[in-house]
Structure 1
Amino acid sequence: MKIWVDADACPVVIKEILFRAAERTQTPLTLVANHALRTPPSKYIRSIQVMPGFDVADHEIVKRMEAGDLVITGDIPLASEVIDNDGEALNPRGERYTKENIKQRLNMRDFMDTLRSSGVETGGPSALSQRERKAFSDELDKLLSQKK
């Protein structure tokens, strides 16, 4: 199992949790972004910089991932592609995307997109809470222990 991170929008605190987990479990971790990233020196952690553009990082992750890999993303369409390719998808708030819930998430995303495009102010996501950080860490540990 490898871990792939849609790193452009991934919170720093989540990256730090991932860095520690990769070292602890000796799991390859790759951050993919359209800008240069700092990563700690490690034989398990690397980053890939892709060209700027809409969904370029997402496409790179889907191209490189294999069945059973874990992708960290808040991007619901990317999570759907990961699941379609037999991967695992986890968002930075600790919510796991599954075959059972991804269609509902896509529908809600599309509905909110329609509202925003019609001029309705929907607001952005709230700040990452301590509870969500713990939920992410717990779910990550659960996924990593299942794959051993």
Structure 2
Amino acid sequence: MVSLQEPLTWRVYVDGAVNQRGSGVELVVVSPKKITIEKSLRLGFLATNNEAEYKALLVGMNMVQKMRGRTVEVFSNSRLVVGQVNGELEARDLRMQGYLSQVRHLQSEFKYFALQQIPRSRNTHADSLATFATSSARSLPWFILVEDLCKPTEMKREKA
């Protein structure tokens, strides 16, 4: 009997960010069982935005690999990184060539690997983590609870 079961594909949304306060790497990893893992890292070195984008991609690929994922789809809003990895753009800068080489090495270890550019509007989850990592104080708690308030608090009027 032949089983035509779909491969267990991991989905990774990556973003890198650089501003006057520092650089950060952000990613959202979604397992085949729909478990979402968020990761936000501050880079302890000076980086360009493109370097941060590559670092985000590498961190995401490493995470999936460590969790024994063999098929992965990665989504990034970086036209440069996606273009270089997909062979549509040339990596001219030596540092970009180094990052591209690392991606190629990791890419070869996956059964299936796809990298797709998406607009920033479709990468808001990773982008919000990017903003958080590069603009927040270093002593923040590890867990942040977010609650949706659907209506304003009703004010009770005092009787005169």
State the TM bucket, normalised to the shorter chain: 0.3 to 0.5
**Structure of larger gyration radius:** 2
Kindly indicate which of the two structures has a greater share of residues assigned to strand.
2
Q: TM-score, normalised by structure 1?
A: 0.32
Kindly indicate which of the two structures has a greater share of residues assigned to helix.
1
Larger RCO: 1 or 2 (CA < 8 Å, sep 6+): 2
